[in-house]
Structure 1
């Protein structure tokens, strides 16, 4: 029986780690690309027998990551696979301050990891698999902040808005191909991860929406990483995946 191949960025913690764990538990082939490898994933892969490869790759250098991915994909045999999916999950939130106080290096890091690298990885993935006849999918993990502005979040909002829009463009490209990839930029809901800790811990005078995020935690309105991961992977498996290039797990 043929298996599915998944390529997942940002798999060492948070929702990315939860997605990696769930994919390994179902026996799929998994390539994780993260700044740090997670030893727990190696142990899980050994226990389940699922094929796992972990690359330690800084996605601030998206060019190197994408060139490495393209070369690796060109060594794979698509006739042995049922499908192939790229999940761009990695992202960083820069210091939570008004844009007038933001440091250029912090903004550059947020845009390189959150926008430039996913764009380059998509290009490498689509190019290397262009002649594969199996189903191909790209799932970009976006955010509601890519669609609604928020004070002191210009860098993160810009990265996610850019991700949404390049996914729309990518969908138009792939629709012209006989076996075009199905693509979607998906908002995964509000998840209790390190990003939420940053938002709750931001200085109130610099972040007018801090009380909102404190309230979400206090009222138990945050999804767990495992629950959010299950929702995202279920969305990826939907038969209508890719019908809309920009989506939200909440409907």
Structure 2
């Protein structure tokens, strides 16, 4: 019986760093993303399984879940880890400039997919002794940003989902919606490239990059996995990794 993890959005940024950290610790990883990671696959050919899946397509995700692939992956798992990392900042714009279809795609990826995977986890792993779910949240779930209304709402939904699931007190299940801090990823570059018209607080994030305040995703991944595997994981349904590191 092994520890097995599911990591969404594992092909780049924090997701890639999390998958790499778990693999380095001997955890088998199932990566779910539209594209695979040749680097991770080459380094961990026996531990990594990849599935090409558009998590923003709820019908495709539902069909994949109904197909039994998740049950097959978790059949021999004693400890199951689900890291809901995939998400998007788009549409990054004030409300009148948001394209409605883009709003729907963003919520499908950032909210529907994590909740669908969480709902599937216990039935798909009947032999597991314990399951742990971490939603990768954001400070934007708890503080409003003009131009990020969809992103803020999506992350807030993950926070409240974790609170509600924790209140259900399901045996063998722990959950935490965890803000990782401000990371040096492509998402931050996307923020800095936005116009002030679409994201009025753009300069704040430009200053964070100039001052060296951004954290490397590999450093964040190390601390996040430390917490995910710790006995205290899930004590709080909503947490900030920066507070836990202090």
TM-score scaled by length of structure 1: 0.91
Residue ranges of structure 2 left out of the alignment (5+ in a row): none
Q: Structure 2 CA distance, aligned partners of 1:134 and 1:63? A: 30
Aligned equivalent of 2:64: 68
Give RMSD over aligned pairs: 1.6
From 96, 109, 113, the counterpart of 1:113: 109
Q: Is the 8 A contact 1:146 1:157 kept in 2?
A: yes
Aligned equivalent of 1:9: 8
Matched, 1:132 2:127: yes
From 36, 51, 55, the counterpart of 1:55: 51
Aligned equivalent of 1:103: 99
Matched, 1:165 2:165: no
Shift of 1:208: 1.6
Q: Structure 1 CA distance, aligned partners of 2:238 and 2:74? A: 30
| Deviation by residue 1:69-103 (Cα, 9 ceiling, x = unmatched) | 4622333565x433111110000111321011110
Q: In terms of mean alpha carbon deviation, does 104-113 or 58-67 score higher?
A: 58-67
Q: In terms of mean alpha carbon deviation, does 154-163 or 164-173 score higher?
A: 164-173
Shift of 1:66: 4.5
TM-score scaled by length of structure 2: 0.93
Aligned equivalent of 2:29: 30
Relative distance call for 1:96 and 1:133 in structure 2 (3 A) is: closer
From 87, 91, 95, the counterpart of 1:91: 87
Shift of 1:37: 0.8
Number of aligned residue pairs: 242
